[in-house]
Structure formats: C-alpha cells, structure tokens
C-alpha cells in the first residue's frame, strides 16, 4: 500500500484508500522497565518531592527485573507504542547486570531481552547501551542500587561491539552516555574515540536545576556549555531533555546540528521544567519527542503537551509554528519526523506508515490542511487504525497483531514483579 511513498515539506499526510496516512514517528527516549511503575510514584513522600525522590521509587522497581521480566514488560510497552503511532524506539538501557551488580553469564543478557522484545513486536529499535560509571560530578563510587548499571570503559566497549553483531534492517546499536555526572571527562573521551564514525550518541543533560548547579560548581560550566566545548557534538548526537538552557546554549545546540529529545509528559510528571521551544525554533534547532518513563505512551500527548506547556508559560496560543507553516500540528509532526534519521541511525523509512481511522468522528470531513491538527488536538481517542513497519502490518483495526498473547504474559509478569 505504501510503495513509493515519500514525506516532504509539501505533504506530511497522504490520502490512501483506507484513510489518511502519516509517517511513522520515532520515540527518541525510552526506559522500558519503567513502564511497570507508571502510576506508582504519585504519593507524596515529603513536601519537597522531586525527580530525586521519584528516583528512589525507580531504584526499588529496577531491582526486581531479570531478563525474562524485562522482555515481557518491553513487549507490552512496544505494543502500546506501535498502537499509538510510534514505529521506532531509542531504548536508553542501563539495567545491565543482576540486582547485586554481578554480570549475568551472558553479559549482554538484558540487552538481548530488549532486542527480542523489539523483534517480537515488530518495532524498529536503536538500542543505546548506557555507560554509567560514577554517582556524581565529584566522582563518587556508584551506590549499592546503582551497581547493576555500571561498567568500566573497556567492559562497556566489549558490550557495544558484541551487540553490533545483532544489527539488521530494524536494529541499530548506538551509545548512551548516561549523563555528565555519571561519566568522567576522560572516560567520555576514550569511549567516543573508540566508537564507529556512524554511531549515534545520546546523553541525559540539563534535566534538573540541581544538576546544572553541580556541574557549574565542579566543572566550571553549565552542562550543555561544557559538553559543546569538550565533545564533538554534531548531527549524530541527541541531547535528552536539555531543559535548562541559556540563550547561548540554545544557539550552540542548534548550530551543532544535534537533536534535542523532549519528553513533555515525563518532564511534567517529574516537575523538571519546560523546554524553551520558541527560542529553539527561532534558532532552527532539531528536536523530537520521547516517552521516557512511560506515564503516557502516545506521540499525540507528547506533541500536544509540548505545545500546551508553551501556551501556559507564555499565555499565548499557537506557539510551535515555523515560517511558511501556520499549522501547529504540521510543524510538530514535520519536526519530529525530520529529526528521526539523525537521532536513530535509520534512513528515512517510506515503508513505515500510520493510517488513521477514517471512521472516527474526529476526522469527519478532514482535509489535507487540517487532518494533522485534528489528529493531535481533537481529543484522547486513539485514532490510529493501521501501522506498517518495514512493510509489515503490525497493527490492524487499532490493535497489535499479537496484543492478546503479549498482554497475558505482561499480566503474569507484573504479578511476579509486585510480589503477588
């Protein structure tokens, strides 16, 4: 059905025989295991609850996972992604070892569980094994609950090379540096020097004010400022969150060609702050979205709340537009799709497509110049009817082709994870 389809600035939607067809969307930031704790960190632990108190809940959940349970949870998550219109996921993966920090007999067992989940469900994956070495900018050792995340540079590069042997049409292996606080400068340089030229590099950065303050105090510069001055940041890089930026940092990221992965629902859930979208668009910066902790698994909600956050902050409407395109929805979709190749390492995939439900009342009478706006801003019903990845139909009539089996396995796994 989609043979020969191309997405251009003249058309980010096409009318097919079954309905409106949109390009598949890349989810640029995912921690799959966190899908299992969605909704479980919404009780106040103290009046100063923040990312750092949420992290304690996350650590407790992370300690329960093994390869089998990780695959089951990831499969359910990837089904939900596909059913909502994501066709590619960048999996930022740091649960490498057993809960006590000892490597599994197969040191890549947890990574292979994620690969198996992606192949089982049919989603494209850029797997980003994470280098995580220290517990703060001061170089402190990893805490007890962080030990399962850790690698030396040498061990990390062995893992990276072993995973590259798995690459195929729907799998790419990239590199994730967890954050500047978790990767010392010399380790970052050594790792980057050993990577293949085409490898994608993702990093958490400037997510919380405390992180910015610590970096400035110890490294003498703000996180993005330091990174741009000390690493070869270019189109292969994706800066995750990058929430707290100065005007100079905004311009610097845009000039570098790097992509910012904005995760509006997670950033809102954690109270992190709002990305300076209008200023970044003015600098012609590249960006995409991610669902991160998966308190929502919907590109519509990420894109909608990216725009709504800006409206609340500025008390104006229709913020995310670029010159020559007054449609907010079209700008949001076009920008998210246009950044995907640089962030994921996949060439633009014409055979990945999302067909909207032509029978949905929200799309009654839709035309080319309003269908994307209607899709994003007309309500909470999922309007996705069919999804194709690499030419294979993975969602039909709004449901993943293997949804029942995967959901049944997920329910069993959750009962075990929750000690029931």
| pLDDT 10s digits, 161-190 | 999 999 999 999 999 999 999 999 999 999
Per-residue pLDDT at 4: 44
- Mean pLDDT confidence for 40-69: 91
Residue that wins the pLDDT comparison between 48 and 109: 109
The pLDDT-based confidence of 51 (bands split at 50, 70, 90) is: confident
List the chain domain ranges. 22-418
pLDDT at 5 over 70: no
Per-residue pLDDT at 8: 56
Per-residue pLDDT at 9: 47
| pLDDT 10s digits, 352-362 | 999 999 999 99
Q: Catalytic annotation on 241?
A: yes
Percent of the chain's residues with pLDDT above 70: 97
Q: Catalytic annotation on 138?
A: no
DSSP secondary structure letters along 285-344? -EEEE--BT-S---HHHHHHHHHHHHHHHHT-S----BTTB--HHHHHHHHHHHTHHHHH
Q: Which of 272, 292, 352, 357 is catalytic?
A: 292
pLDDT at 40 over 70: yes
The pLDDT-based confidence of 272 (bands split at 50, 70, 90) is: very high
- Mean pLDDT confidence for 263-273: 96
Q: Which of 96, 204, 241, 294 is catalytic?
A: 241
Query: Taking the chain, what is the end-to-end CA distance rounded to the nearest angstrom?
Result: 46
Asked if 177 and 132 touch (Cβ cutoff 8 Å), the reply is: no
Per-residue pLDDT at 314: 96
| pLDDT 10s digits, 192-243 | 999 999 999 999 999 999 999 999 999 999 999 999 999 999 999 999 999 9
391, containing H or E segment? none
pLDDT at 45 over 80: yes
Asked if 26 and 344 touch (Cβ cutoff 8 Å), the reply is: yes
Per-residue pLDDT at 6: 58
Dihedral angle, C-alpha 225, 208, 312, 22, nearest 10 °: 80
pLDDT at 1 over 50: no
Per-residue pLDDT at 323: 86
Per-residue pLDDT at 7: 56
CATH class of domain segment(s) 22-418 = alpha beta
Indicate the SS3 state at residue 167. Answer: coil
Asked if 265 and 301 touch (Cβ cutoff 8 Å), the reply is: yes
Residue recorded with tokens 């309003």: 370
pLDDT at 3 over 70: no
| pLDDT 10s digits, 368-394 | 999 999 999 999 999 999 999 999 999
Range of weakest confidence among 2-11, 42-51, 57-66: 2-11
Record the tokens describing residue 35, joined without a space: 């899908």
Per-residue pLDDT at 11: 62
| pLDDT 10s digits, 284-327 | 999 999 999 999 999 999 999 999 999 999 999 999 999 888 89
């Amino acid at each position: 059905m989609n043979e020969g389809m191309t997405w251009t600035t003249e058309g980010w939607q096409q009318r097919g025989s079954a309905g409106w067809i949109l390009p598949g969307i890349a989810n640029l930031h995912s921690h799959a295991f966190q899908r299992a704790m969605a909704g479980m960190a919404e009780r106040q632990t103290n009046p100063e609850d923040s990312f750092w108190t949420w992290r304690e809940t996350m650590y407790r959940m992370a300690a329960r996972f093994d390869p089998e349970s990780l695959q089951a949870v990831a499969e359910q998550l990837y089904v939900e992604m596909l059913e909502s219109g994501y066709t590619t996921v960048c999996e930022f993966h740091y649960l490498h070892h057993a809960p006590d920090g000892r490597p599994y007999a197969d040191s890549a067992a947890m990574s292979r569980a994620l690969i198996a989940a992606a192949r089982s469900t049919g989603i494209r994956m850029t797997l980003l094994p994470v280098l995580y070495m220290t517990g703060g900018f001061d170089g402190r050792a990893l805490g007890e609950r962080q030990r399962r995340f850790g690698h030396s540079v040498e061990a990390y590069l062995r893992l990276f090379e072993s995973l590259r042997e798995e690459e195929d049409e729907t799998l790419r292996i990239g590199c994730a540096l967890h954050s500047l606080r978790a990767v010392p400068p010399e380790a970052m340089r050594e790792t980057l020097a050993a990577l293949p030229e085409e490898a994608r590099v993702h990093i958490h950065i400037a997510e919380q004010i405390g992180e910015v303050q610590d970096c400035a105090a110890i490294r003498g510069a703000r996180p993005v400022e330091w990174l741009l001055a000390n690493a070869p940041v270019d189109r292969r890089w994706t800066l995750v969150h990058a929430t707290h930026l100065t005007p100079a940092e905004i311009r610097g990221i845009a000039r570098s060609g790097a992509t910012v992965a904005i995760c509006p629902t997670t950033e809102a859930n954690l109270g992190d702050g709002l990305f300076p979208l209008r200023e970044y668009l003015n600098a012609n910066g590249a960006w995409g979205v991610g669902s991160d902790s998966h308190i929502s698994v919907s590109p519509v909600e990420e894109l909608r709340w990216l725009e709504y956050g800006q409206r609340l902050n500025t008390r104006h409407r229709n913020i995310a537009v670029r010159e020559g395109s007054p449609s907010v929805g079209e700008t949001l979709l076009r920008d998210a799709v246009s950044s995907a190749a640089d962030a994921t390492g996949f060439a633009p995939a014409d055979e990945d497509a999302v067909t909207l439900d032509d029978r949905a009342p929200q799309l009654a009478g839709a035309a080319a110049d309003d269908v994307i706006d209607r899709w994003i801003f007309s309500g909470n019903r999922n309007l996705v009817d069919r999804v194709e990845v690499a030419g294979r139909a993975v969602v039909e009539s709004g449901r993943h082709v293997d949804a029942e089996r995967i959901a049944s396995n997920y329910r069993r796994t959750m009962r075990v994870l929750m000690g029931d």
